Structure 1
């Protein structure tokens, strides 16, 4: 059975759990991270020197970085529907996955830590406002894309891009600040909510 090290509330762990459900894969989710087993131990650091979750162990294969793990699972376990074999279609999926992991994540980080995590290190009102503005600007990019992409991020077929973007859209909607109207994003989340795995790992009450 696959081993997934990382606390279930983590958005990056949920990416992998959602992907596993879409692929019908059984996974043993071991709870590591803040509030659970410490990642700053020789045992964990031997698997991921960054001391971060998630980590996937699949036999002799050990992987960290959530998007890389999701790609591996789709490649290894016949997930062509999630990650197409065609080079052009695959590149579009990976483009949106990479955008989520870099541009979008970096935009929301400060505001999320302040407004959801109540982090004492994230109390600068100017920085919070700047993070919210950046977050909204990136979500507006997604809004414009969804207006023309079809049902999902890369067309009419659900892919790994929707796993990562769906979780991010849910986080945006659940974080307490004044949200601009983005009807395509809202409709996208409602479509994703027809998938049991999204309700289990995405729209499950956790931002």
Structure 2
């Protein structure tokens, strides 16, 4: 019988993350790395740093987006896929990515939701209030964007009414992915936002984690 090839442990290689630290998708990965206590090097790429449209980067990630993970001879892009890989390849098992099928499926659901729902709705509000000069902002349009984002966050607020964390009653990748976006929701100013008590309570808890303070809490830019 052929013996399956043993893949190297993620800690056996030098991990490299390409991406700028103010990208929400890079922040998710950096938060995950810190929770797993995995050493890594980060190389600036994207926006003012460039590099992501250069041939060598496109050879790794043909989308020209960030982040990109390099683990020895293995290259992976898409932030949620990178977080899953880090949890699995660490080889130790971690509550961040539960083993029980129903708990893992629950985490997967929210990871998918961040990409299908949260990111498209959050992006116009964040870019309009943080990355657009004040004189160029369409405040009426931004209030509409805030109302749409509030309707989205109400879904998570209702879900959190009966639980401490997003899934499995313990801190998981779902809290990382959603916590990074919640930082933007609670951090933007200049629009009217509703009081979401359960969301705020959960956010206060995850925002106390050292990895959040290091990688997510710095001023929005």
**TM over 0.5, shorter chain:** yes
Equivalent residue, structure 2, for 1:184: 198
Asked whether the equivalents of residues 143 and 192 of structure 2 are also in contact (C-alpha less than 8 Å), the reply is no
Equivalent residue, structure 2, for 1:128: 142
Secondary structure of 1:46 counterpart = helix
The aligned runs of 1:46-195 (5 Å cut-off) are 46-77=59-90, 78-118=92-132, 123=137, 127-148=141-162, 150-176=163-189, 177-195=191-209
Asked whether the equivalents of residues 19 and 163 of structure 1 are also in contact (C-alpha less than 8 Å), the reply is yes
TM-score by length of 2: 0.87
Matched, 1:40 2:68: no
Equivalent residue, structure 2, for 1:196: 210
| Change in 2 beyond 3 A, CA 1:40/1:195 | same
Residues 33-74 of structure 1 deviation map (CA, whole Å, 9 limit, x = unaligned): 111142110011001111110000001211111011001101
Q: Of the two, which has the highest radius of gyration?
A: 2
Q: Which runs of 4+ in 1 moved over 6 A?
A: none
Cα distance, 1:185 vs. partner?
1.2
Asked whether the equivalents of residues 4 and 27 of structure 1 are also in contact (C-alpha less than 8 Å), the reply is yes
Q: CA RMSD in A?
A: 1.7
Q: Among 23, 33, 37, which residue is 1:20 paired with?
A: 33
Whole-angstrom CA distance in 1 between matches of 2:56 and 2:37: 29
Q: Give the aligned length.
A: 205
Secondary structure of 1:4 counterpart = strand
Q: What 5-or-longer segments of structure 2 have no aligned partner?
A: 1-13
